Structure 1
């Protein structure tokens, strides 16, 4: 673990022996340095921001399409996503974020073989966590009624929540994989996957609701 976490300063054109920039002596050099650092930052932050937008876009698009079915259905789905879904999403994201530190340290220290070990351990831990959180999904209806929701909304929201249990387990795979790729700066892969998933999600919503007419089954 004594290997420097950051190296390659000379290759980046810093010029300093410690991998930092040499003293800047003019505004031109300052502008050049700021531009270089800005470009480097957005090469990482841009795809990550786009990926997060796509990730949250799946729930947003779900609400948009359900709004075409009816007010009751929209209320139920919105309550499910905002109460039960947000709780589990935040819980899983918090636990998965621990992998960001571990993978970052391992990759920076050159111990690449540990990345896969940490990833697999995180998968196991989060999958077990999903099993523990599953009763919240199963008993979503009584939980929402205790919180004061109307019976009709709580019943339909509970039905929808149970059907989204597979999404909970998918988070156990998604979050660790995101941190695994992010530690290696493979952010373009994350952005591409998130975009494709969003497009497929919108396509399936369109087909199931407007083509197959499954929305009518929900209204019955």
Structure 2
């Protein structure tokens, strides 16, 4: 009987639900910095935060209040997005779910253009990126960043919590659940691909 050595890959997942408002971009960057600091992957925080902020910005453009902070009564279930950081071994996934099925497209930009470079930046910083349409609806735009070291958070029994301003934290309900289900489907599909 021959025994084969197999590599055990640890899974670390952090998720955050936000209202699709322009200020969510800054919250998303802080979320990335805090989580990667906790996972002892600080050296990847700057690039990962930039990728996350570009994906969040696209989600806000697709479904939210891009040019202003919304009034509380303007926020509906349509304005929910979910962010997820997922580390499996030396692979770090940045994932953003929103309710719109419309896919973002790379823009043709000129040297003097003021915008349109978001997906070009994602493509330059990530090993690969793509779009996933989960059965739960909407879309997940994801990017993969390969690391040279494994996450190693302190196992002290405490949970790192990010405090989000109340106006950016959507209320519990069916859309927030839809976002969680969609992201978990992506996690499960990723794990199945490892087998």
TM surpasses 0.5? no
TM-score (norm. length: structure 1): 0.25
Structure with larger Rg: 1
If asked which structure has higher relative contact order (CA below 8 Å, sep 6+), I would say: 1
TM-score (norm. length: structure 2): 0.28
Structure 1 or 2: larger strand share?
A: 2
Structure 1 or 2: larger helix share?
A: 1
